[in-house]
Amino acid sequence: MDHHYDIAIIGLGCAGSHVAIELIKQRPDIKIVVIDNAAAILHKKWSFWEKGVGKWDHIILKEWSRGLFKTDLDSINLDMNPYVYKSINSVDFIAFAKAKLKESNHSTFINSTVIDIDETDSELHAINHSDGTVHAKLVLDSRIDHQFFKDQKAITIQQHFKGWTIETTKDTFNPECFTMMDYSLKDQGTTSFTYILPYSSRKALIEFTYFSPDLVEDTVYDTFLKRYITEQLNITDYKIVEVEKGIIPMTTYDFNQHHSHNRYKIGTAGGWVKPSTGYSFKMTEKKAAILVRNYVNGLPLLTDLFTKRFSIYDSSMLSVLRDFNKDGPMFFHRLYKNNAIHNLFKFLDEETTLSEEISIMKSMTSLRMIKAFFKSLF
Ligand SMILES: Cc1cc2nc3c(=O)[nH]c(=O)nc-3n(C[C@H](O)[C@H](O)[C@H](O)COP(=O)(O)OP(=O)(O)OC[C@H]3O[C@@H](n4cnc5c(N)ncnc54)[C@H](O)[C@@H]3O)c2cc1C
C-alpha cells in the first residue's frame, strides 16, 4: 500500500473536517490522508449564526430567527434578520466529512493516534501513528502545542460550561427563540450566564457558562443549573436526557509560532477560535476556505488568514474580562442594548468597516474598554 500523500490532516474535528471538505471540493485530484483517534465520538452542539440559507442546512438540528439577551433588570429581543442562529450536531458534521473522504478516490481516513512527526525531511514529513507511518508533503495539524498550556504571557480567559438537555412534562419553552445570554442568575463577581437552546416546547439545552480566568468544581455548574431551572424557568418536573461540558480557550496566545516549513497548525491549535467569543464553527469554515484557496493558488498558506485590527479588539475585550471579570455582565449589556444584533454579528464575523467598528466601540462608552484598547495597540 502506498503511504505517500500530498496532504496529511491530523484530527477530524471541526477544523480538520472543514479543511478536508474544502480540499476535496477544490482539489479532488490530490491525495489526502486524515488521521484521528476519536472522531465523532463526542456529541457537541456547534451553534453559529449566518445569513439565511447555508451550506450545512441539510444536517442542521434546529434554527432560530429570534433571540434574547437578559439581565435581572432588562430583556432585549434580538431580531436577527437577515441572520439565523443554527445548531448542528458535531457527530453529523464529522460524519458528513467522513462520507466526503470515502467518496473521494484519493483520500484515506485512518483511525489512529498520531505520536510524532519526524523532522528530518521537511519536504516529505513522516507522520508516526499508533498503527504505522504515513508520508506527506504538507501537514495540517489540529493538535494544540503543549507550550500553550504553560504560557503565562498571553491573556487567556476560559469559556467553561456545563449544559443539561432537559425534557419537561408540560409546554415550557418557546422553540422559536433562543437565549444568547441570561445574566439574571450569576456567580457573583464573575462573568457567568445561562444560554438556552430550545429544541421544542418541551425540550431544551440549558447551559451555565463562565467567561473567567479560573475554572470551577463540577458541582457549581449543577447548583446554578438547578437554580436556574426552578427559580428562573419555574420548572419543577423535568428529566435530564443529555449532559455536555466544555472548556474553550479564549486567548491572545500567538499560535503562529508553532507553524514550521510545510507544517501548519489548524483549528484551536492555529488560533482559529474567535478569542472574544469562543465561537469557532463559522470562523473555521471561513479560515479553511482561505487556507485551501491559498494552497490551490500557490500562495503562502497563511495569507489573509488574520486581520490585525480584529486581533486588537479581541485582545481589548479579553483584557477587560481578565482584569474586571465582575463587570462582564455590564459590558455585554451595553453591547447588546446599544447595537443592533446584525451589526454585532457582522463585527464578530470580522466583516465590518472601521467606522462601524468605532461606532460599536463607542457604544460601550467605558473608560476601561478604551484603556484596554490602547494597551492592546502596543
Ligand atoms: C461541549 C462543547 C460545545 C461547543 N459549542 C460550540 C458552539 O456552539 N459553537 C462553536 O463555534 N464552538 C463550540 N465549541 C467549540 C468547538 O468545539 C471547538 O472550538 C472546535 O471543535 C475546535 O476545533 P478543532 O478542530 O481545533 O478541535 P476539535 O474539534 O476538538 O478536533 C480535534 C480532533 O483532533 C483529534 N486528535 C487530537 N489529538 C490527536 C492525535 N494525537 N492523533 C489523532 N487525532 C488527534 C481529536 O480526536 C479531535 O477529533 C464547543 C465545544 C464544546 C466542548
pTM: 0.94
Task: Report pLDDT for 370.
Answer: 61
21, 40, 49, 246 from 44: Cα distances, Å: 19, 9, 16, 9
More confident position, 364 or 65: 65
CA of 11 to the centre of ligand 1 (A): 9
Across the range 167-191, mean pLDDT stands at: 96
**Measured in whole angstroms, how far is the alpha carbon of residue 358 from the centre of its chain?**
25
Task: Report pLDDT for 151.
Answer: 93
- Alpha carbon nearest to ligand 1 atom 32, residue: 13
Q: Is the peptide bond before 213 cis (omega within 30 degrees of 0)?
A: no
Q: Which of 5-14, 30-39, 42-51, 114-123 is modeled with the greatest confidence?
A: 5-14
Task: Report pLDDT for 373.
Answer: 57
Q: What is the pLDDT of residues 265-324, one digit of tens each?
A: 999 999 999 999 999 999 999 999 999 999 999 999 999 999 999 999 999 889 989 988
Atom number, ligand 1, closest to the C-alpha of residue 269: 26
Give the ranges where 297-353 is alpha helix by DSSP (H).
308-323, 328-338, 341-348
- Alpha carbon nearest to ligand 1 atom 51, residue: 246
Q: Which residues contact 185 (CB under 8 A, 6 or more apart)?
A: 194, 224, 227, 228, 231, 232
Task: Report pLDDT for 203.
Answer: 97
CA of 358 to the centre of ligand 1 (A): 33
